[in-house]
Protein backbone atom coordinates (compact mmCIF):
# COMPACT_ATOMS: atom_id res chain seq x y z
CA UNK A 1 0.00 0.00 0.00
CA UNK A 2 1.33 3.45 -0.87
CA UNK A 3 1.99 5.98 1.89
CA UNK A 4 -1.00 8.04 0.70
CA UNK A 5 -3.31 5.04 0.92
CA UNK A 6 -1.97 4.19 4.37
CA UNK A 7 -2.53 7.80 5.38
CA UNK A 8 -6.11 7.76 4.08
CA UNK A 9 -6.81 4.60 6.08
CA UNK A 10 -5.31 6.18 9.21
CA UNK A 11 -7.52 9.27 8.78
CA UNK A 12 -10.63 7.13 8.30
CA UNK A 13 -9.90 5.21 11.45
CA UNK A 14 -9.07 8.39 13.37
CA UNK A 15 -5.57 7.31 14.34
CA UNK A 16 -3.91 10.66 15.12
CA UNK A 17 -0.40 9.30 15.78
CA UNK A 18 -0.34 7.37 12.51
CA UNK A 19 -1.78 10.33 10.58
CA UNK A 20 0.97 12.64 11.77
CA UNK A 21 3.72 10.06 11.12
CA UNK A 22 2.37 9.05 7.68
CA UNK A 23 1.86 12.67 6.60
CA UNK A 24 5.52 13.33 7.41
CA UNK A 25 6.58 10.11 5.70
CA UNK A 26 4.65 10.91 2.51
CA UNK A 27 6.20 14.38 2.36
CA UNK A 28 9.66 12.92 2.97
CA UNK A 29 9.08 10.51 0.10
CA UNK A 30 8.54 13.52 -2.12
CA UNK A 31 4.75 13.45 -2.51
CA UNK A 32 3.57 16.99 -3.32
CA UNK A 33 1.98 18.73 -0.29
CA UNK A 34 -1.24 19.42 -2.24
CA UNK A 35 -1.54 15.71 -3.11
CA UNK A 36 -0.96 14.76 0.52
CA UNK A 37 -3.74 17.19 1.47
CA UNK A 38 -6.27 16.17 -1.17
CA UNK A 39 -5.67 12.44 -1.51
CA UNK A 40 -4.28 11.50 1.89
CA UNK A 41 -6.25 13.80 4.19
CA UNK A 42 -9.45 15.13 2.57
CA UNK A 43 -10.53 12.21 0.39
CA UNK A 44 -11.00 9.83 3.38
CA UNK A 45 -13.40 12.38 4.93
CA UNK A 46 -15.46 12.25 1.73
CA UNK A 47 -15.38 8.44 1.85
CA UNK A 48 -16.57 8.52 5.46
CA UNK A 49 -19.25 11.05 4.47
CA UNK A 50 -20.71 8.51 2.07
CA UNK A 51 -20.57 5.79 4.75
CA UNK A 52 -22.30 8.20 7.16
CA UNK A 53 -25.02 8.83 4.58
CA UNK A 54 -25.53 5.08 4.23
CA UNK A 55 -25.70 4.64 8.00
CA UNK A 56 -22.47 2.61 8.11
CA UNK A 57 -20.68 5.04 10.46
CA UNK A 58 -21.94 7.58 13.00
CA UNK A 59 -21.04 11.03 14.34
CA UNK A 60 -18.29 9.83 16.74
CA UNK A 61 -16.38 8.23 13.85
CA UNK A 62 -16.68 11.47 11.87
CA UNK A 63 -15.42 13.46 14.84
CA UNK A 64 -12.29 11.37 15.43
CA UNK A 65 -11.53 11.26 11.70
CA UNK A 66 -11.93 15.07 11.43
CA UNK A 67 -9.59 15.54 14.36
CA UNK A 68 -7.01 13.19 12.84
CA UNK A 69 -7.29 14.98 9.51
CA UNK A 70 -6.74 18.36 11.17
CA UNK A 71 -3.53 17.10 12.80
CA UNK A 72 -2.27 16.03 9.37
CA UNK A 73 -3.24 19.38 7.87
CA UNK A 74 -1.12 21.10 10.54
CA UNK A 75 1.90 19.16 9.25
CA UNK A 76 1.27 20.09 5.59
CA UNK A 77 0.22 23.69 6.23
CA UNK A 78 3.67 25.33 6.47
CA UNK A 79 4.56 23.80 3.11
CA UNK A 80 1.47 25.20 1.43
CA UNK A 81 1.56 28.73 2.79
CA UNK A 82 3.94 30.79 0.73
CA UNK A 83 5.13 33.51 3.08
CA UNK A 84 6.78 35.36 0.23
CA UNK A 85 3.66 35.61 -1.93
CA UNK A 86 2.62 39.11 -2.80
CA UNK A 87 -0.55 40.16 -0.93
CA UNK A 88 -3.54 39.49 -3.19
CA UNK A 89 -6.29 40.84 -0.99
CA UNK A 90 -8.00 40.54 2.35
CA UNK A 91 -10.84 38.21 3.27
CA UNK A 92 -13.03 37.33 6.22
CA UNK A 93 -14.31 33.75 6.47
CA UNK A 94 -16.95 32.13 8.64
CA UNK A 95 -19.08 29.04 8.90
CA UNK A 96 -22.55 30.46 9.48
CA UNK A 97 -24.61 30.38 12.70
CA UNK A 98 -25.79 26.98 13.88
CA UNK A 99 -23.28 25.13 11.73
CA UNK A 100 -20.35 23.26 13.28
CA UNK A 101 -18.73 22.07 10.03
CA UNK A 102 -15.40 23.77 9.48
CA UNK A 103 -13.24 21.30 7.54
CA UNK A 104 -14.14 22.67 4.10
CA UNK A 105 -13.98 26.29 5.24
CA UNK A 106 -10.57 25.68 6.79
CA UNK A 107 -9.28 24.20 3.52
CA UNK A 108 -10.47 27.19 1.54
CA UNK A 109 -8.77 29.51 4.06
CA UNK A 110 -5.58 27.45 3.88
CA UNK A 111 -5.39 27.56 0.08
CA UNK A 112 -6.28 31.26 -0.05
CA UNK A 113 -3.49 32.00 2.41
CA UNK A 114 -1.11 29.88 0.41
CA UNK A 115 -2.08 31.88 -2.68
CA UNK A 116 -1.18 35.13 -0.89
CA UNK A 117 -4.51 36.32 0.54
CA UNK A 118 -4.69 37.60 4.08
CA UNK A 119 -7.59 35.86 5.82
CA UNK A 120 -9.33 36.53 9.12
CA UNK A 121 -11.04 33.29 10.09
CA UNK A 122 -13.98 33.94 12.43
CA UNK A 123 -14.46 30.20 12.95
CA UNK A 124 -17.67 28.17 12.96
CA UNK A 125 -21.20 28.87 14.23
CA UNK A 126 -20.70 32.61 13.67
CA UNK A 127 -23.70 34.90 14.19
CA UNK A 128 -24.68 37.30 11.40
CA UNK A 129 -23.98 40.35 13.58
CA UNK A 130 -20.43 39.17 14.29
CA UNK A 131 -19.73 38.86 10.56
CA UNK A 132 -21.13 42.35 9.93
CA UNK A 133 -19.08 43.77 12.82
CA UNK A 134 -15.91 42.17 11.46
CA UNK A 135 -16.51 43.75 8.03
CA UNK A 136 -17.28 47.10 9.66
CA UNK A 137 -14.14 46.97 11.80
CA UNK A 138 -11.76 46.21 8.96
CA UNK A 139 -11.52 48.89 6.28
CA UNK A 140 -9.34 46.68 4.07
CA UNK A 141 -11.53 43.61 3.79
CA UNK A 142 -12.61 42.89 0.21
CA UNK A 143 -14.07 39.39 0.38
CA UNK A 144 -16.49 37.71 2.77
CA UNK A 145 -16.48 33.91 2.50
CA UNK A 146 -19.42 32.04 3.99
CA UNK A 147 -19.59 28.30 4.46
CA UNK A 148 -22.64 26.17 5.33
CA UNK A 149 -23.04 22.39 5.30
CA UNK A 150 -26.61 22.03 6.49
CA UNK A 151 -29.83 22.71 4.60
CA UNK A 152 -31.04 24.32 7.83
CA UNK A 153 -28.16 26.80 8.07
CA UNK A 154 -27.65 27.84 4.44
CA UNK A 155 -30.27 30.58 4.76
CA UNK A 156 -28.03 32.37 7.26
CA UNK A 157 -25.99 33.30 4.17
CA UNK A 158 -28.98 35.22 2.81
CA UNK A 159 -29.47 36.88 6.20
CA UNK A 160 -25.81 37.88 6.23
CA UNK A 161 -26.05 39.51 2.82
CA UNK A 162 -29.22 41.36 3.88
CA UNK A 163 -27.53 42.51 7.10
CA UNK A 164 -24.52 43.77 5.14
CA UNK A 165 -26.92 45.71 2.91
CA UNK A 166 -28.71 47.19 5.93
CA UNK A 167 -25.37 48.25 7.45
CA UNK A 168 -24.40 49.97 4.18
CA UNK A 169 -21.46 47.56 3.74
CA UNK A 170 -22.65 45.41 0.85
CA UNK A 171 -20.85 47.40 -1.87
CA UNK A 172 -17.59 47.29 0.05
CA UNK A 173 -17.15 43.51 -0.25
CA UNK A 174 -17.62 40.57 -2.59
CA UNK A 175 -19.53 37.77 -0.88
CA UNK A 176 -18.63 34.23 -1.90
CA UNK A 177 -20.31 31.09 -0.65
CA UNK A 178 -19.67 27.36 -0.54
CA UNK A 179 -20.61 24.10 1.15
CA UNK A 180 -22.43 20.89 0.24
CA UNK A 181 -26.05 22.15 0.15
CA UNK A 182 -25.40 25.32 -1.89
CA UNK A 183 -24.70 25.91 -5.57
CA UNK A 184 -24.33 28.67 -8.14
CA UNK A 185 -28.10 29.06 -8.51
CA UNK A 186 -28.51 29.53 -4.76
CA UNK A 187 -25.67 32.06 -4.83
CA UNK A 188 -27.42 34.20 -7.42
CA UNK A 189 -30.78 33.72 -5.70
CA UNK A 190 -29.46 35.26 -2.46
CA UNK A 191 -27.39 37.94 -4.19
CA UNK A 192 -23.92 36.52 -3.50
CA UNK A 193 -21.10 37.43 -5.87
CA UNK A 194 -19.89 33.88 -6.41
CA UNK A 195 -19.90 30.22 -5.50
CA UNK A 196 -17.32 27.51 -5.86
CA UNK A 197 -17.46 23.77 -5.33
CA UNK A 198 -13.99 23.33 -3.86
CA UNK A 199 -10.98 25.09 -2.39
CA UNK A 200 -8.81 25.45 -5.53
CA UNK A 201 -11.79 26.90 -7.43
CA UNK A 202 -12.45 29.25 -4.50
CA UNK A 203 -8.95 30.67 -4.94
CA UNK A 204 -9.61 31.20 -8.66
CA UNK A 205 -12.93 32.84 -7.85
CA UNK A 206 -11.39 35.21 -5.30
CA UNK A 207 -8.63 36.18 -7.73
CA UNK A 208 -11.16 36.78 -10.50
CA UNK A 209 -13.43 38.91 -8.32
CA UNK A 210 -10.53 41.10 -7.20
CA UNK A 211 -8.69 41.04 -10.53
CA UNK A 212 -5.72 39.77 -8.48
**CA–CA separation, 212 and 204 (whole Å):** 9
- Under 8 Å between Cβ of 173 and 135: yes
**CA–CA separation, 193 and 175 (whole Å):** 5
> For residues 28 and 94, which CB has a smaller minimum distance to ligand B12 in the complex?
94
**CA–CA separation, 94 and 73 (whole Å):** 19
DSSP 87: P
Residues with Cβ < 8 Å from 30, sequence gap 6 or more? none
Q: Does 191 bind ligand B12 (CB under 6 A)?
A: no
| Contacting range for ligand B12; rule: CB under 6 A; set: 10-18, 24-32, 112-120, 142-150 | 142-150
Candidates 1, 28, 30, 59; binder of ligand B12 (CB under 6 A) is: 59
> For residues 29 and 58, which CB has a smaller minimum distance to ligand B12 in the complex?
58
Strands 117-121 and 89-95: parallel
> For residues 78 and 123, which CB has a smaller minimum distance to ligand B12 in the complex?
123
Nearest approach, Cβ of residue 68 and ligand B12 (Å) = 11
> For residues 36 and 108, which CB has a smaller minimum distance to ligand B12 in the complex?
108
Which residue(s) pair with 194 in the sheet?
176
Candidates 15, 66, 136, 183; binder of ligand B12 (CB under 6 A) is: 66
Which residue(s) pair with 120 in the sheet?
92
Q: Does 177 bind ligand B12 (CB under 6 A)?
A: yes
Q: Residues in the site for ligand B12, rule: CB under 6 A?
A: 42, 45-46, 48-49, 52-53, 59, 62-63, 66, 98-105, 107-108, 145-147, 149-151, 176-181, 196, 198-199, 202
Amino acid sequence: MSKLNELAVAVESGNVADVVALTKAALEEGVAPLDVLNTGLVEPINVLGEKFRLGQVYVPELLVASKAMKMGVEVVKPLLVDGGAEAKGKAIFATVAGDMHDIGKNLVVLLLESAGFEVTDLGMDVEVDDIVDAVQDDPDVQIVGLSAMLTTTMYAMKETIEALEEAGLRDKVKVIIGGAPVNADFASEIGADGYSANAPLAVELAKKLLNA
